[in-house]
Structure formats: C-alpha cells, structure tokens
Amino acid sequence: MIRIEQDAWRKMVAHAQVTYPNECCGAMLGTIDGDAKTVKVSIELDNAFEGVQQERYELRPRDLMNADRAARQQGMDLIGIFHSHPDCDAYFSATDLKNSFPWYSFVVISVKNGKFDHANSFLPNAEQTTANEEEMEHPAVSPAA
Amino acid sequence: MAKVLIPTPLRQYAGRNDSVEATGATVGEVLDSLTGQYSELRHHLYSDEGKLRSFVNVYVNDEDIRYLEKDSTPVTDDDTVSIVPSIAGGHRGY
C-alpha cells in the first residue's frame, strides 16, 4: 500500500505534465510502516536518457544518490520512483520491469494530451520477473491542474 | 572504518541498517568487509563470476568509482561509500 500526500502528489503530476510529451522521472521520499509507505516529498529528477525521451527514461545514479541523501537528512527514506507515460496507459512495461529494482514502489503516471489521466503503482518482485500492482491512494487531480 | 550507505531495498539483507561501518583500504576491500558481515548482500551486489553487477553503482563520497580506479579506488576512514542502483524504463516493451 502506498499513500501519497498532497504536496508530493501535486509536484509529481505537475512534473509529468510540464515534461510532456517526454517521459518524466523522479524520486519519492517518505516513511515506511510495515507494508505501508507514505510519500511525503517528491523530487523531480532529470530524464538522462540520451535517445527518444518520449519513449524512455533513465535516472542518473548521482541524482538518485543525492535524493537518498536528502531523504536521510530529512529523517525519511527513499521509498520509490515515479515516471510518466505520455499518451498511453499507466502500465508497468517489460522495459520498466527489466530496469527497475525490487522493493521500491514504481508509480507510473499516464499523461494524455498534456493532462494527467490516471496513475498506478507497481512493486517488482525480487527476481524482477513480474510486478504486482500496488494499492495506491493519492489526492484527486483538479481538471484545471 | 568507512561508512557504507545501504539503499532502502537492500537494508533487509543488512540487518535492517541504513548504513554499515566496513574496513578496507579500497572499495573492493570495503565491499568484501560489508558482505562478510552480511553475506546475503553478496548475491545482490555481485554476479556468480564475482563481478559487481552492472546495475550497481558505487560512489566514494561524490565520485563514481567507474571514473576512478573501480574496485581499487582507495577508501579512507573519513569516506562514505554509497551503493546506488541503476533505474530506467519506458512505455515501449509492453
């Protein structure tokens, strides 16, 4: 279960919309209580993919390291990654799975025609052979957002 | 001893610690010390051939060891070693 708080969610959606038609990416910081994660802060990160960014994203390891450091400084943990799918649904593709990392939650945000459409969260298994959809709670997105 | 920062997904294999003190004069020695303390970590960091997995990035302070001396990169007691996974994706491939 992952719950995303208002300010973190607002920034995630804004990042996905502003970077459209490219895929965006970022880190989610928060707290863990058993199987439940709460995202309190989101950090917009650069898509470092050197090819067609409408189809792919890549996190710069240095950026992920800095996001982890920021989490530690704020007494939180880096608990997941978010990225967007422009003009397609928020599924977890084979490419997403193959290049993921177990335990992190992966929130996928669908942006269609530049506007938020829907989102899902996924948890890759330890072998990265499959990812289960994770129950997610997030604030509603205003049509004017 | 150097401080090794453990990313959240690997803490379950490191006694639930977010950092571990490890001995060694090089990155290779420090990671050996780490996996000597927590043997389950070895499988997640190294291939069966004993090489650091390609999706595992290691930094000494702010420097990526791939651009330094890789496993032979010197480490002092004041250094922080960070383990950072490579993460990417894309909607094609569904």
- Output the domain CATH number for residue A88: 3.40.140.10
A55 part of a folded domain: yes
What's the confidence (pLDDT) of residue B54? 86
Tens digits of residue pLDDT in A20-78:
999 999 999 999 998 899 999 999 999 999 999 999 999 999 999 999 999 999 999 99
B94 vs A98, which has greater pLDDT?
A98
Both tokens of residue A95?
Answer: 């490419």
Domain assignment present for residue A24? The answer is yes
Euclidean distance between CA atoms A20 and B15, whole angstroms: 41
ipTM here: 0.91
CATH 3.30.360.10 for domain B2-85, yes or no, is no
Chain pair A-B, CB pairs under 8 angstroms: 95
Task: Please check the confidence at residue A127 and state whether its pLDDT lies above 90.
Answer: no
- DSSP track, B57-85: EEEETTEEGGGTTGGG-B--TT-EEEEEE
In a domain, A32, yes or no: yes
Domain extent, residue A18, equals 2-133
Whether A60 is in a domain gets the answer yes
Task: State how far Cα A138 lies from the chain centre.
Answer: 12
Mean pLDDT of A93-110: 94
Q: Which residues of B touch A73 (CB under 8 A)?
A: none
Closest partner residue to A104 among B9, B18, B91, by Cβ?
A: B9
**Residues from chain A contacting residue B82 (CB–CB below 8 Å):** 65, 68
Every domain of chain B and the residues it spans: 2-85
Distance from CA of A32 to the nearest CA of B (A): 10
